[in-house]
Amino acid sequence: MPPKALVGGGSSSSSNGGVKKNGGVVKPSQIVAVLAKLFQGDAAEWDKDEALDLIYWLRQVFGVLAGFVWGYLQTPGLLGFASFLFLNIALVTLLHKNVMGIGDDDWENASQELMSEGLPLSMSCFMVVWVLTHTTFHT
C-alpha cells in the first residue's frame, strides 16, 4: 500500500494543479520539502511518515530504472535478481543510516520498518520492467 503522508485528504478533483493519488492530492511543495530534507543530511529531523514515504518512492523509482538497465544489458536470471536485491537493500541501508541519520533510537524498530518499506512492490516493478525491456530489445 502506498504511503499516505504526502497524500492530502479531500475530494478526488483538484483545483491547485496537484497530482491525484488515491482520492487525495500530492502537493508538489510537499515533495520538494521532503527532497530538500534529504539533501540536508543528518541535520534534518525526519518524521516517521516522511522517512517511510521517501524510502518507498525511491525504491519504486530504483526498481523501474534498474529494470530498464538490467533488461537492456541482458542480465541473466538469478544474477540479475540477486544483484538487484543486494543493491536495493544496500542503497536503502546507506540512505537511512548515513544520509538521513535514522537509527533504532529515533523510533521503535526504525531500521526494520525502513528496510521492509516498499521492497515487495519494488521487486515486482523491477521484474516487470526487466522482462519487458529484455523482450523488447533482444527478441
* Per-residue pLDDT tens over the stretch 33-65: 887 888 887 777 888 888 888 899 999 999 999
Rounded (10°) CA dihedral 12, 14, 20, 21:
-50
pLDDT band per the 50, 70, 90 thresholds, residue 2: low
What are the domain boundaries of the chain? 42-138
> What is the pLDDT, as a whole number, of residue 3?
58
pLDDT band per the 50, 70, 90 thresholds, residue 91: very high
Q: Which residues pair with 7 in a beta bridge?
A: 26
